[in-house]
Amino acid sequence: AQSVSQHNHHVILSEAASLELGCNYSYGGTVNLFWYVQYPGQHLQLLLKYFSGDPLVKGIKGFEAEFIKSKFSFNLRKPSVQWSDTAEYFCAVTADFGNEKLTFGTGTRLTIIP
Amino acid sequence: EAQVTQNPRYLITVTGKKLTVTCSQNMNHEYMSWYRQDPGLGLRQIYYSMNVEVTDKGDVPEGYKVSRKEKRNFPLILESPSPNQTSLYFCASSSLAGGYETQYFGPGTRLLVL
């Protein structure tokens, strides 16, 4: 079965700082990877996804993520964060085409200080 | 407007009193799913459904039931709720053709079991 680890539980940054949130997955086969964001009091929204092809994926709001197969990682990055990026971020994985079981990481709370 | 609706949004109940949380989507999506969100544990999938009359267990199905008699509805049933089912519940739907790119989450149902 697949699993996802997010080692950063709470990250605090100042505005304009660069961001990198870690995500590692465990699964021996082909995977699809996702980052979701949950703003305070709201439901989850998809930031970006990786299915195949270019391992550097660009998403909404200036976020990007890089899939490194050899490291089983899919870290989320943003060069310059804004106060409005304050939210909880979840990495998720689903393994194999046709397997619709989506496994989430425990989430990383991001707080941006103005 | 494309949306996933859940009712009720907030519910306080007592141990053992059967309850149902409804979920409905207006996008003709094949895939629907239920998650629970708990602090420090992220989102965990309870059950999912690939289409009408097709359901399967997620990571934490114990104590829950689901049904998919109609494509638009996917109710979550707690036959005998217990305090450890106090949580925030999200329903989600997506088109299988679009994969998780088109996954929509409902607004959440906050459940307290006394």
Shortest alpha-carbon distance between residue B49 and chain A (Å): 9
Q: Which residues pair with A13 in a beta bridge?
A: A112
Residue of A66, A61, A70 whose CA lies nearest to A91: A66
Region A11-32: mean pLDDT is 92
Beta strands in A1-114 (DSSP E): 3-5, 10-14, 19-21, 24-26, 31-38, 44-50, 56-58, 64-68, 73-78, 87-95, 103-104, 108-113
Reported as a pLDDT band with limits 50, 70 and 90, residue A3 is confident
- Residue A90 has its nearest CB partner, among B42, B48, B96, at B42
d(CA B75, CA B22): 4
CA of B81 vs chain A CAs: smallest distance (Å): 24
**pLDDT tens sequence across B3-58:** 999 999 999 999 999 999 999 999 999 889 999 999 888 899 999 998 999 999 98
Whether B33 contacts A102, CB under 8 Å: yes
Q: Is B44 on the interface with A (CB under 8 A)?
A: yes
User: Which residues lie closer than 8 Å to A10 by C-beta, 6 or more apart?
Assistant: A108, A109, A110, A111
Whether residue B48 and residue A107 make contact (CB cut-off 8 A), yes or no, is no
Cβ neighbours of residue A38 under 8 Å, at least 6 residues apart? A44, A45, A87, A88, A89, A90, A107
Nearest chain A residue to B30 by CA distance is A100
Among chain B residues, CA nearest to A49? B101
Going along chain B, which residue ranges are E strands?
A: 4-7, 10-13, 19-25, 31-38, 42-51, 54-57, 65-66, 76-78, 87-94, 104-105, 109-113
Give pLDDT, residue A2: 79
pLDDT at site A96: 59
Cβ within 8 Å, pair B44-A106: no
Q: Nearest-CA residue of chain A relative to B4?
A: A43
